[in-house]
A and B are shown apart, each in its own frame.
Chain A
């Protein structure tokens, strides 16, 4: 097993504290990460673009501000890697696709603005499955990313580059997007913390849309606290996103170490053997996590979410349906690739045929089909009803339980090329993470030991909408036990 995971790493919190106090310089901190990138990026391919010079300029500014006595934000001097579907002003933003290979957005995504305002240094744009469609980062037009724990394995996806960047010590924190598990599943496979916030908690302005009712931006980090810090920085109402929640969230940090005494935790039985294909060792680890919570004073019981049996099918109708509509904008007219043609329609067809990869084409066609006359009711309409049942299931369970527990990924990291032949075998990777997206609830993956192959296993904590503080608290207890 060829691993390049560093033995120890700094937390974003310690970097920010030491940079703010003048103990460390932001430039020195950055150079440490850049040298790790220089050493190992050729093996990992976590980045589509490394922003060495831009990052150095930002870090020098940070040091100047500190020397001038300024108080910077909670991420002062902290390098951050951004998934390449987040718009960065004047910096190539590809979404892992040929169709946007040379596109430079004329504006920053809201999360990018907020990270910069908090003092962070953008270190690069990370590799991803094309338009976030995939669970292994093998669908990138720019080659796959490899798992830092074992270079012959995938990092998961679609935010595989962001997960690998944190695991490989290329950055202490990174940002991803999660439509069906695209933050939590790679976090699980790479042994880092990954969070999908409540839908509407983080602005999607400047995120290249995949499935708008499911997409949510969230953090990767080495610790639960760092993830919560980043979430607080990027979260909050944004008038530029009409689905942004306007009510303020309570602090995620105040009660982080309060423990789980007296909390009621449900284990989702459908994801603990009820649905086929979830590996026994992953189920075992989740049981161990439940025991840890129980030892710390939580009440643990098995609960049932019956509609979760149908989530995979519902998701693979709803997400492609929304994608087929969202991706119609790539027509060779306003931005990105154009492949010429005699007529407008011919130009559209040439551009899209050459610009999109196979998985994107499959999903666009699947979505177009699911929405077409004669099939709408049987597929898309039914899937939306399953979504309603699922929401009712969760409401009922949350009337009796505070949080829920389940595996994150049905298995540890698999080998490159092992699951690319049959799309359906790739899709089942999302079976434990999809339910939270369909209902818009928050969920976190926390590293919790490893499998027989020595690869990381993550455990998932699910919480009701806007109850992130509780979710982070439970995750923090699991993290303490794991260390």
Chain B
């Protein structure tokens, strides 16, 4: 069985998910996520060796389409909904030289 989720782990997960938590939020979310994971112990405790995992309700096969030219959305219309654009492109803050 896994240990209850810690504030340190929640803090790490928040970072992975690109979220910032205040100290109060960190405490509250740790408690709330802990309660959900406590409930999930019933699933964790099941012996399910040999059961094939099911990730999707339909038997999935790769769907391909013909390689034909179709009319797609207009570039300017799409860029129109972007927060910041420059010369027909999405503009983002500096990436190179950034700490990972």
Task: Kindly provide the distance from the CB of A114 to the nearest chain B CB, expressed in whole angstroms.
Answer: 19
Known: A213-B55, A385-B53. A313 touches B19 (CB 8 A): no
Q: Is the CB of A317 within 8 A of B19?
A: no
Any B CB within 8 A of the CB of A104: yes
Known: A106-B81, A386-B43. A365 touches B19 (CB 8 A): yes
Q: Is the CB of A383 within 8 A of B43?
A: yes
Known: A342-B93, A381-B53. A106 touches B13 (CB 8 A): no
Q: Is the CB of B35 within 8 A of A424?
A: yes
How many B residues have CB within 8 A of the partner chain?
52
CB-CB nearest in chain A for B57: A440
Q: Mark B61-86, 1 if CB is under 8 A from A, else 0.
A: 00101000000011001101111100
- Please measure, in the bound complex, the distance between the C-alpha atom of A103 and the C-alpha atom of B81, giving whole angstroms: 7
Q: Is the CB of B54 within 8 A of A382?
A: no
Any B CB within 8 A of the CB of A220: no
- Please measure, in the bound complex, the distance between the C-alpha atom of A361 and the C-alpha atom of B51, giving whole angstroms: 32
Find chain A residues with CB under 8 A from B42 CB.
309-310, 313
Find chain A residues with CB under 8 A from B33 CB.
362, 365-366, 369
Q: Is the CB of A366 within 8 A of B36?
A: yes
Any A CB within 8 A of the CB of B18: yes
Interface centre among B5, B56, B63, B82 (most CB of A within 10 A): B56
Q: Is the CB of A364 within 8 A of B17?
A: yes
Q: Is the CB of B94 within 8 A of A344?
A: yes
- Please measure, in the bound complex, the distance between the C-alpha atom of A348 and the C-alpha atom of B32, giving whole angstroms: 24
Q: Is the CB of A346 within 8 A of B5?
A: no
Known: A310-B46, A316-B36, A336-B83. A345 touches B57 (CB 8 A): no
How many A residues have CB within 8 A of the partner chain?
73
List residues 83-115 of chain A with CB under 8 A from any CB of chain B. 103-107
- Please measure, in the bound complex, the distance between the C-alpha atom of A344 and the C-alpha atom of B94, giving whole angstroms: 6
Task: Kindly provide the distance from the CB of A439 to the nearest chain B CB, expressed in whole angstroms.
Answer: 6
CB-CB nearest in chain B for A103: B81
List residues 3-24 of chain B with CB under 8 A from any CB of chain A. 5, 9-10, 13-14, 16-20
CB-CB nearest in chain A for B43: A313
Determine, out of A3-11, A224-232, A387-395, A446-454, the stretch whose residues face the partner at the interface.
A387-395
Cβ-neighbour of B74 out of A106, A312, A317, A364 (below 8 A): A106
Interface residues of B (CB under 8 A from A): 2, 5, 9-10, 13-14, 16-20, 29, 32-33, 35-37, 39-44, 46, 48, 51-58, 60, 63, 65, 73-74, 77-78, 80-84, 90, 92-95, 98-99
A-B contact pairs, 6 of them (CB 8 A): A200-B58, A332-B83, A333-B83, A345-B18, A361-B29, A438-B57
Q: Which 4 A-B pairs have the closest CB atoms?
A: A440-B57, A338-B83, A384-B53, A388-B54
- 17 extra interchain contacts, Cβ-Cβ under 8 A, other than A349-B20, A353-B20? A213-B55, A243-B58, A314-B43, A317-B43, A338-B83, A340-B93, A346-B93, A349-B19, A352-B17, A365-B19, A369-B33, A382-B46, A384-B55, A385-B54, A387-B53, A388-B52, A424-B32
